[in-house]
Amino acid sequence: MKKVLIINDTSSECHHGCDLVMNNINEILFKFNFDKIFTIFSGKTLIGNKNIIKKLRHINLVLINGEGTLNNSQERAKNIIKDLIYLKKFHQLPLVLINSTIYKNNHFIMKNLKLFDLIYVRSSLDKKNLLKYKIKSKVVPDLTFYKFSKLKIKKKNIEKISITDCYNDSISEKFYEFSKKNNFKFLTIRRDLKLNSLNFFKIISFIKYNIIKIFIFIFFKFKIKINYNYYVRLYFTNKLYDYLKHIEKSKFLICGRFHSMCFALQTLTPFYFIKSAVNSHKSEGLLKDIGLKNRIIHLKEINGKSFKDFKKNEIKLIKKYIYNSNFKINKMFKEILKLVETKF
């Protein structure tokens, strides 16, 4: 099997969308005869990791999972580019960027994206941003669209209107207050910290996390005011299936998250996406590609909106997009395999 190093593994983010992306990447890699032997988690860098650097001679492919990292010139984006420059300079390995958003990055980040052998972005808006720097890319839907049809959720007992959290905590808190005021169900895409290994420091972090959650529950029960970052943990759903079930059973979904919106599309749950000044580009790009730009609104517009089901033409557009997604994702990995075979 061909050996793969994955950079920006987001399964450490305690986020259902990221979990499904990484699960699907692992499954597709296995399907195409790749073996993931090393992974660099989100927020970490290859540079300085002597253990992995020593073993790069055994690697056949470096796969970078972009997701929402390469936007707004954030520090994580700069770290990915530094790793990219290092790999290009000192190691002759195929370098591929997949599942990425590209938005509002500085010149240093944008010019060095040319170092990738292949680039796959999640929307036409991202492709357009790359073309400004004469960088070619292909549009392939977010990797949550790869396997969703196999989850087989049964729709029963439609519940109340739901509203999700948002990438930005201060906006999320406003969404939470809005849900309480309007008797909506509040859904956060986050989950609790998992203990995935018996590493001493991870065990300590896991114990500390759960002790804090006990105190959060006590404070919340006795109405002692605490920061949103803490009490939101009481709304975490720990199983992806349960989170998806909550979305599918919602009468209507008000979305502040990209992946929550992806799940609403795949469950055919009618929704509005709430546009904010923070991190809305990727959601707007997806809805533009599908043909659902009318589903984007501002939070202040909610009270004047009626929460209606999808129209027939909207359902047709969504189903077409989902149907094509699996084909495009498989084609992407075939192209990656071909690249690796020509290099080795």
Question: pLDDT tens across 142-153, in order?
Answer: 999 997 645 555
**What are the structure tokens assigned to 235, written together?**
């709304």
pLDDT of 151 reads 52
Please say if the pLDDT value at position 212 is more than 90.
Answer: yes
pLDDT of 153 reads 55
Burial of 153 (0-12, 13-18, 19+ CB in 10 A): middle
Residue (of 151, 105, 95, 148) closest to 126 by Cα position: 105
pLDDT of 292 reads 97
64, 146, 260, 263 from 119: Cα distances, Å: 10, 18, 25, 24
Please say if the pLDDT value at position 111 is more than 60.
Answer: yes
pLDDT of 295 reads 95
pLDDT of 13 reads 94
Q: What is the CATH number of domain 2-146+324-343?
A: 3.40.50.2300
- Give the C-alpha separation, 253 to 246, whole Å: 10
Please say if the pLDDT value at position 232 is more than 90.
Answer: yes
Check the CA dihedral 65-66-68-70 and report its sign.
positive
Q: What is the CATH number of domain 152-321?
A: 3.40.50
pLDDT of 198 reads 79
- Give the C-alpha separation, 183 to 210, whole Å: 29
Pinpoint the residues of the chain covered by CATH 3.40.50.2300. 2-146+324-343
**What are the structure tokens assigned to 57, written together?**
């001679």
Please say if the pLDDT value at position 197 is more than 60.
Answer: yes
pLDDT of 321 reads 97
pLDDT of 248 reads 92
pLDDT of 147 reads 74
104: which residues sit within 8 A by CB, 6+ positions away? 71, 72, 73, 281
Give 159-168 pLDDT, tens digit per residue: 789 999 998 8
What's the chain's length in residues? 344
pLDDT of 304 reads 76
**φ, ψ of residue 103 in degrees (nearest 5):** -160, 130
pLDDT of 154 reads 58
pLDDT of 48 reads 82
pLDDT of 152 reads 55
In contact, 282 and 69? CB cutoff 8 Å: no
pLDDT of 244 reads 93
Largest CA distance in the chain: 64
